[in-house]
Structure 1
Amino acid sequence: MRALSGDHTAAALSADRLVVLEVAGQDDYELLRPDVLLAFHELCLVRHDDGEWYMGQLDDDGSVICWGSYGSDLAEAVRGL
């Protein structure tokens, strides 16, 4: 993960936190149930229980707001950072 991303500080975080996905075109959020959460500085990749990777931002309170799906391939999602 660190070699692929080029981020030597990349780390797995506890998925026990609030993780939401912004709903496009609305001022609403969908609750995500992650089973994996990877942090790359303030950016995160979150794997939802359906196998999709979502990109988001880690907030100061530890929650994550995601804005889009990057598919089911982790390598492709990391390259999307």
Structure 2
Amino acid sequence: MNSGLPTGWTIERVRALSGDPSAVPLSCDRLVVVAVADQNDYEPLRPDVIFAFHDLCLVRDDDEWFMGQLDSDGSVICWASYGSDLAEAIRGL
């Protein structure tokens, strides 16, 4: 279940670096948005990878990782970009 992961990454490596043994990849078949700065609006994302860390998520869209929260309806609302490096994004959890 490592499809879509950056080269050299496995779910086990994601779990080890995050310190969350329950981290899991999620289906990208869900609503994912990012809050637009200085506006009360959201911009849709089209992720190719989503990781869930309890109720937090890392979402990759166009080689950029976004931090967000998993909502009770399964959607993800992101609030910030954590850059293109997965390791750095995970450290920001």
Class of the TM-score when normalised by the shorter of the 2 chains: over 0.9
Alpha-carbon offset, residue 37 of structure 1: 0.2
Q: Distance in 2 between matches of 1:40 and 1:24?
A: 24
Structure 2, unmatched stretches of 5+, are: 1-13
Structure 1, unmatched stretches of 5+, are: none
**Structure 2 residue aligned with 1:69:** 81
Per chain length, whose mean CA-contact separation is higher, i.e. which structure has more relative contact order (CA < 8 Å, sep 6+)? 1
Q: Distance in 2 between matches of 1:69 and 1:75?
A: 13
**Total equivalences in the alignment:** 80
Runs (4+) of structure 1 moved beyond 2 Å? none
* Structure that is richer in strand per residue: 1
Bigger radius of gyration:
2
Q: TM-score, normalised by structure 1?
A: 0.98
**Structure 1 residue aligned with 2:67:** 55
Letter in 2 for 1:47: R
